[in-house]
Chain A
Amino acid sequence: MALFGSDNSAASSSPSTSQEVKDSLIRQVQQEAAMSNARSLIGKVNEHCFEACVPTPGSSLSTKESTCLSQCMEKYIGFWNATSRAYISRVSKESKKAGGADLSGLSL
């Protein structure tokens, strides 16, 4: 499960101080959050790009289909980022209107 180079070796000696326990927990949460986010993204890319690039599945992926899949993947990630920017900017505008927290500095 080392999709994004998650490295557990640093945590292999069991943490003994408060600082070490904290750092180790934060590292684990970060890894799992990244993993869960990647899993959602990959699932959606698979779904949409299969739909867009492989309309009639043959006995193997053609060169054209493979090229399309690579392009689709890049486009989906760009699209995801555009969606994220639009959503965060709107939410932070609304929450400022309501006198709430400023989320504009948030990046995912």
Chain B
Amino acid sequence: MDPQTQLDIAKLNDGDRKELTQYLANEAQKSNIQQTVHGLADICWKKCITGKISSGRLDQPEEACAQNCVERWMDTNFAVLKHLENLRGQ
């Protein structure tokens, strides 16, 4: 943390405090989603980009593969949860 920005939290009034809490909650959610996307891009890149890289542009099949990969990953997620639920009920 930068030493020159010593912040006195006590100076915050109630309204700003509330606003900050909301802001931080949003940022935390955004950061969570970003981390998931980093993980997904990692997994899906391995599955979708297998050949030689000959252009910097993402072509149509690659984009479609990314989308399918994310959708099926989510399906897998739900399928695992559902099966777990079934196992628990046995």
Chain A residues at the B interface, C-beta cutoff of 8 Å: 8, 11-12, 14-19, 21-22, 24-26, 28-29, 33, 36-37, 40-41, 44, 48, 52-53, 68, 70-76, 78-80, 82-88, 90-91, 94, 106, 108
A44 to B39, CA, bound (A): 9
Q: Are B70 and A90 in contact (CB under 8 A)?
A: yes
Q: Which 7 A-B pairs have the closest CB atoms?
A: A74-B56, A78-B58, A86-B70, A71-B56, A82-B66, A22-B16, A86-B67
A80 to B49, CA, bound (A): 12
Q: Are A22 and B66 in contact (CB under 8 A)?
A: no
Q: Are A71 and B54 in contact (CB under 8 A)?
A: yes
Q: Are A18 and B63 in contact (CB under 8 A)?
A: no
Overall SS of chain A's interface: helix
Count class of interface residues, chain B: 35 or more
Q: Are A18 and B31 in contact (CB under 8 A)?
A: no
Q: Are B58 and A82 in contact (CB under 8 A)?
A: yes
Q: Which residues of B contact A52 (CB under 8 A)?
A: 49, 52-53
